[in-house]
Structure 1
């Protein structure tokens, strides 16, 4: 019995440590939400989400409270990659940076072109601009050796820059009326946090306590509270103050906090968010829900806009010598990854909630568009990569 338990424990540990695990858990949570929302449990499901616990509903606690930890982890990953990772030099940033910019611009243009005359719906222009890194990397990992290692690095770097762009969009375009006193208070707290960093304070507790204060002030200022998570992450020390040693040899507060959140966020917070927000009741939904410009704008932006923006930008950048092609990658590999960038689940859902906070009908149409666009992008991307040439023997110039 003990040996069976050890085998099961080892298998579970291997699954949790795999790159695909987070994406698979999120897929299961989303599928379960759709199933529950269209079952006899639907009334209970929606009632629980609307139930108030203290000053906020369960849904708001999840979307505004728990997701702050998600954005904190995003901020930690962004800082680590830019300071000491795959984005630490300009040569490494050029191709994923250009492709991330193209992959955000074209989906927004497609959405806007379809909804320009609708002053309420146009507010959702940013919904298809984001890529879900957990989903996309999860699908890519399932393909194993058929995908060059350079493409996994490219996708991870692109998604990190994409997340940074999404955070900036939320801060700039989805901010309510600003309360200057609260914004000034948040600025003071940020100054103290940077001061702690400069003074070499390595204990995490002062940063986390001040981060909680920062979140409250940012929320009161009118800027979405989740932005505070990214701002806090930028102040967490990364480089050891002792002898200028790299954090590859000395653990830093940033690495410690990122490690602490690495399992909690993808395996608890994100699935809870997915389960709470992917549930769409299809009762009474007819063909018009699939053909309205909001749904098409979101689905088309993800599935078509991302391909044009990422793949098209990569071809142009390499052709004109602006960036080097990913090692051992053929054009079909880049096309497949560009399609996977159309999986926009977590961040797209989050922006959709910010765009239409009081309109359940528009939220449902957004969710249908996200689910359709993400599912088609995942299937098409998988098929393209499945039938792409194997990495061995492919030269960069073949791109």
Structure 2
């Protein structure tokens, strides 16, 4: 008999706290976008996305504005893990670093095997791993996945994200406005100055970061990178006994505070909205050959085959050469399953698609189909392998 005085569990809070929930919301958003794009209201939905609100369209506000929060969170995670987390020492960086390198190089090469000429610009699309999806799958598997493998996957995805950020900055910049770029440099110096002066309030960083974003938007370098630049200037060190009125102090870190504040909004609002805006591919209206186009095949094969070969192959070589040790309690079959999950490349892959083919809706659609197909296949295969592997015996 239920005790009426016992507090009822908060279902929403439990859902938000589940590691798999963000991935489920993202899947629902992607499916919803596909349904909308291929329904009778598809043309109206596309028109709404391209409607202008001030200087940008709704789609641009999502991709250049909201996604800056995603990149800010990515930057905070990279800095935190590099300084005091799973990537804080070289022994911890070696295996995920080598595996991530293979997981970027091999997919790019496989894509280029399918594509020459103008479509070769999409070589970086299959290089990214979507951490929300990948960790969501491992959460569904429960104890079948050792904690050491989850840590390995998270570290690999963080290094992967860092690689994607560098690639966007170096290879997907179209034009440069030197005055705006100089202004962005001044804003960045101001942020570094705030850090050096020991400012622990988040508000000054956010205000200068907003100015930095505006200047980056005009400079020609993608505006979302302002989020990463801002993240790297947020203080990580703790200040015991001090309080700034924003939850910073009494042993808390400004970086960890901001990371905590952004975690759920980014996972449950920003990234799903991005999916709604960018996974809306009108598959029914595409030319018959689009599903087997070089871009589609290159992206799908890069994510599914390239990630497995790159991550699993490079990690295996590193272990056999004695450069790194296999994660504790993990077997080769489990490592293979993890390599498959690295082929889930939804968010960052679609983001790079928009940069690689900015003026070709058809090539964007082909790449997105490849991302969706490759990610789905990689996720299902990884889940099946890890479920079968169970508690495989550990190997050295």
TM range (shorter): over 0.9
The 5 Å alignment of 1:72-87 reads: 72-87=72-87
2:295–2:367 contact (8 Å) kept in structure 1: yes
What whole-Å deviation, never above 9, does each CA across 1:335-371 have from its counterpart, x for those lacking one?
A: 0010000000000000000111121111110111001
Structure 2 residue aligned with 1:126: 124
Q: TM-score with structure 1 length normalisation?
A: 0.94
Structure 2 residue aligned with 1:395: 394
1:299–1:374 contact (8 Å) kept in structure 2: yes
Q: TM-score with structure 2 length normalisation?
A: 0.94
Structure 1 residue aligned with 2:55: 55
The 5 Å alignment of 1:268-307 reads: 268-285=269-286, 287-307=288-308
What whole-Å deviation, never above 9, does each CA across 1:51-93 have from its counterpart, x for those lacking one?
A: 1111111111101110000000100111111111111111101
Greater Cα shift, 172-181 or 134-143? 172-181
How far residue 181 of structure 1 moved from its aligned partner, in angstroms, is 2.2
How far residue 286 of structure 1 moved from its aligned partner, in angstroms, is 5.7
Structure 2 residue aligned with 1:379: 380
1:330–1:389 contact (8 Å) kept in structure 2: no
2:239–2:253 contact (8 Å) kept in structure 1: no
* Mapped pair 1:321 → 2:316: no
Corresponding residue SS for 1:143: helix
In 1, distance between residues paired with 2:184 and 2:265? 27
Structure 1 residue aligned with 2:88: 88
Corresponding residue SS for 2:10: helix
In 2, distance between residues paired with 1:318 and 1:350? 33
Corresponding residue SS for 2:284: coil
Structure 2 residue aligned with 1:366: 367
**Unpaired runs of 5+ in structure 1?**
none
What whole-Å deviation, never above 9, does each CA across 1:314-352 have from its counterpart, x for those lacking one?
A: 100000001111000000111001000000000000000
In 2, distance between residues paired with 1:363 and 1:342? 19
In 2, distance between residues paired with 1:342 and 1:323? 22
**Unpaired runs of 5+ in structure 2?**
242-247
How far residue 241 of structure 1 moved from its aligned partner, in angstroms, is 5.1
In 2, distance between residues paired with 1:6 and 1:56? 47
1:307–1:339 contact (8 Å) kept in structure 2: yes
In 1, distance between residues paired with 2:204 and 2:297? 47
How far residue 167 of structure 1 moved from its aligned partner, in angstroms, is 0.5
How far residue 395 of structure 1 moved from its aligned partner, in angstroms, is 2.7
* Mapped pair 1:195 → 2:196: no
In 2, distance between residues paired with 1:230 and 1:18? 26
How far residue 240 of structure 1 moved from its aligned partner, in angstroms, is 2.3
The structure-2 alpha-carbon separation of the partners of 1:177 and 1:284, relative to structure 1 and needing over 3 Å to count, comes to: closer
Structure 1 residue aligned with 2:110: 110
